[in-house]
Amino acid sequence: MYADRVLSGMRPTGSLHLGHYHGVLKNWIKLQHEYECLFFVADWHALTTHYDNPLGIEQATWEMVIDWLAAGVDPSKATLFIQSQVIEHAELHLLLSMMTPLGWLERVPTYKDQQEKLTEKDLSTYGFLGYPLLQSADILIYRANQVPVGEDQVPHIEFSREIARRFNHLYGKELGYEEKAESAVKKLGGKKAKLYQELRIRYQQEGDDEALESARALLGETQNLSLGDKERLYGYLEGGGKMILTEPQALLTEASKMPGLDGQKMSKSYNNTISMREDPESVSKKIRTMPTDPARVRRTDPGSPDKCPVWQLHQVYSGEEVKAWVVQGCVSAGIGCIECKQPVIDAVLKELAPIQERARAYTQEPDTVKNIIADGNEKARDLARETMRDVREAMGLHYT
């Protein structure tokens, strides 16, 4: 019904590191050539966990946008904007909150996980529970059908699909749809009809996916229904009728192969990052002092690349020839670790040079960055308003 539209957001974490670059930004840059893309700063989402200290958010937003642009996200290809500057997200979030079962939110795995992880904060707030719903509003308001995210975000996209389906079910019904569906249920016959209704209620009120599966299986086995009735009943289970909001899909981003300096995932909280705007001196020093295979105590001790975080960096940055040189030199103690690290240092510096040059230019012209975002906000608002018109109309809030 709609052409592919890609949307993704990032919480403003300030300046980004090579993990973001290899994991997310390179993917965005590729997608911007293939699809209509919208990328935004999820500043309200930052408030769900930083409500006690919101002052850094604005600065972090601008730093992050500069890094997007410096990496090569192209404002003439993709629409870049800030969530809080398109207040329609808040209206959709509110309207969706009216029909969102609490159980659906409580069951999103990130809810309990994050609460357990971030123990120093009180996250038993309304806003934090609603995090995935705000994310759903972000996505649904643009009728985006493809959402590039990492594995950890897949449950949120699933949740958004369920919200879209429920919305369409509640507010997108065709005239007489319910009566037709109810009479199709009767045709299932006593026992089956009763079971179907029970499963349907369990799915719709409690979000019980197993109930949905069972009900689908039940319909699959049924022989005595016309095709039309069968389709009606599939639709009746999970929505159907007119599609007002589009069900989005996760466009799974491959996990970044970019390791941190200690071989763990690169992350600010592990203190193992190289930032995109790290100065060359510091980059060299960080890599030079990286840990290597602990077996190589002396230069003459042989090592094995598999036990060395530097080898993981070679996977990202080196060609076959260099990699062969590393393996050979490491297991035979033919090369020293400092020698082994040099090609990685060179490659990282080469990768960062043009990025840093663009970042410098944008930093010196904050107005250019502000204008890019102002344009993007405007474009995003136009799209959001279109959807909200349909949403209000469907919910009987049209007032004209």
Site residues, ligand SF4 (CB under 6 A) = 292-293, 296, 303, 305, 308, 310-311, 326, 330, 335, 337, 340-341
Q: Residue 42 binds which entry of ligand TRP, ligand SF4, none, with Cβ cut-offs from 5 to 8 Å by kind?
A: ligand TRP
Nearer to ligand SF4, 53 or 289 (CB): 289
Strand 78-82, strand 5-10: pairing:
unpaired
Q: Closest distance between ligand SF4 and the C-beta of residue 302, in Å?
A: 9
Q: Residue 293 binds which entry of ligand SF4, ligand TRP, none, with Cβ cut-offs from 5 to 8 Å by kind?
A: ligand SF4
Q: Residue 310 binds which entry of ligand SF4, ligand TRP, none, with Cβ cut-offs from 5 to 8 Å by kind?
A: ligand SF4
Nearer to ligand SF4, 198 or 306 (CB): 306
Q: Residue-wise over 204-228: b if at least 16 C-beta within 10 A, else e?
A: beebbeebbebbbebbeebeeeeee
Answer yes or no whether residue 388 interacts with ligand TRP by CB under 6 A.
no
Strands, DSSP E only, in the chain? 5-10, 36-41, 78-82, 146-149, 249-252
Q: Closest distance between ligand SF4 and the C-beta of residue 220, in Å?
A: 55
Q: Which of 32, 61, 146, 153 binds ligand TRP (CB under 6 A)?
A: 153
Nearer to ligand SF4, 203 or 311 (CB): 311
Q: In whole angstroms, what is the distance from residue 167 CA to residue 239 CA?
A: 8
Q: In whole angstroms, what is the distance from residue 382 CA to residue 376 CA?
A: 10
The strand pairing partners of 10, in sequence order, are 41
User: What is the CB neighbour count within 10 angstroms for residue 262?
Assistant: 13
Q: Closest distance between ligand TRP and the C-beta of residue 149, in Å?
A: 5
Nearer to ligand SF4, 205 or 304 (CB): 304
Q: Which of 32, 79, 84, 135 binds ligand TRP (CB under 6 A)?
A: 135
Comparing C-alpha atoms, which of 18, 22, 12 is closest to residue 63?
12
Q: Residue-wise over 140-151: b if at least 16 C-beta within 10 A, else e?
A: bbbbbbbbbbee
Q: Residue 173 binds which entry of ligand TRP, ligand SF4, none, with Cβ cut-offs from 5 to 8 Å by kind?
A: none
Q: Tokens 């393996």 label which residue? A: 327
Q: Which of 36, 43, 67, 138 binds ligand TRP (CB under 6 A)?
A: 138
Q: Residue 287 binds which entry of ligand TRP, ligand SF4, none, with Cβ cut-offs from 5 to 8 Å by kind?
A: none
Phi, psi torsion values for 65, nearest 5 degrees: -60, -40
Nearer to ligand TRP, 8 or 246 (CB): 8
Q: Which of 123, 147, 251, 345 binds ligand TRP (CB under 6 A)?
A: 147
Q: In whole angstroms, what is the distance from residue 322 CA to residue 153 CA?
A: 36
Nearer to ligand TRP, 41 or 330 (CB): 41
Token couple for 235: 């639709």
- Specify whether the backbone of 5 is left (phi greater than 0), alpha (psi in -120 to 50) or beta: beta
Q: Residue 147 binds which entry of ligand SF4, ligand TRP, none, with Cβ cut-offs from 5 to 8 Å by kind?
A: ligand TRP
Q: Closest distance between ligand SF4 and the C-beta of residue 249, in Å?
A: 40
Nearer to ligand TRP, 108 or 372 (CB): 108
Q: In whole angstroms, what is the distance from residue 384 CA to residue 382 CA?
A: 6
Q: In whole angstroms, what is the distance from residue 146 CA to residue 123 CA?
A: 29
Q: Residue 138 binds which entry of ligand SF4, ligand TRP, none, with Cβ cut-offs from 5 to 8 Å by kind?
A: ligand TRP
Answer yes or no whether residue 139 interacts with ligand TRP by CB under 6 A.
yes
User: How far is residue 156 from each of residues 18, 57, 76, 86, 280, measured CA to CA in Å?
Assistant: 25, 23, 29, 21, 38
Q: Residue 135 binds which entry of ligand SF4, ligand TRP, none, with Cβ cut-offs from 5 to 8 Å by kind?
A: ligand TRP
Q: Which of 6, 37, 38, 42 binds ligand TRP (CB under 6 A)?
A: 42
CB 381 within 8 A of CB 41: no
Residues 7-26 close enough to bind ligand TRP by CB under 6 A? 7-11
Site residues, ligand TRP (CB under 6 A):
7-11, 42, 45, 135, 138-139, 147, 149, 153
